[in-house]
Amino acid sequence: MKRAIPTAKEFVWTDEYKLGHAAMDDTHREFVELVGGMERANDADFPALFHRFVDHAQRHFELEKTLMSDGDFPAKDCHVEEHDKVLASVLQVKPLVDAGRIDIGRSLVQALREWFPAHADYLDSALAQWLVKRSAGGVPLVLKRRGKVATD
């Protein structure tokens, strides 16, 4: 079975991705685990993982949209627009993966891997800070172990 060979270190969840908002951290951990799993999957297993990722992406982006709406997040439109573009790409690739074009699915996986860290660092961290500040009166304090895989 053909297996993808990552060009850099494996994409795994680390403390570097923590934002200090439990629901967002949980869904981001799932995102990283699914993308990393698709990177490492052989061609036979890839389509099933891709389908799990499609379901995840829809739930992930809907959760954040709800959090933004409920929390009156000022940058909601920009954030939702970016999610919509990513989801549109995922949904365009899905029938191609279903037709056996695993190579196109793997290209999307690489793009998702490249997209996620900056999105989480800027848009998602701003949302997490906004939500925690509104609910707790201050920004989240997030302790991160450099280079360590998060265990919680």
- Over residues 17-68, the pLDDT tens digits come to 999 899 999 999 999 999 999 999 999 999 999 999 999 999 999 999 999 9
Domain that holds residue 47: 15-136
- Over residues 126-139, the pLDDT tens digits come to 999 999 988 766 65
Residue 8 placed within a domain = no
* H-state helical runs in 41-124: 46-70, 76-98, 102-119
Residue 147 placed within a domain = no
Q: How confident is the model at residue 75 (pLDDT cuts 50, 70, 90)?
A: very high
End-to-end CA distance of the chain: 33
Identify any residues that bridge with 42 across adjacent strands, giving them in sequence order.
Answer: 3
Question: What distance in Å separates the CA atoms of residue 57 and residue 32, rounded to the nearest whole number?
Answer: 11
pTM of the model: 0.85
Q: Which of 28, 6, 19 is nearest to 83 (CA)?
A: 28
Count: domains in the chain? 1
Residue 88 placed within a domain = yes
CATH for 53: 1.20.120.50
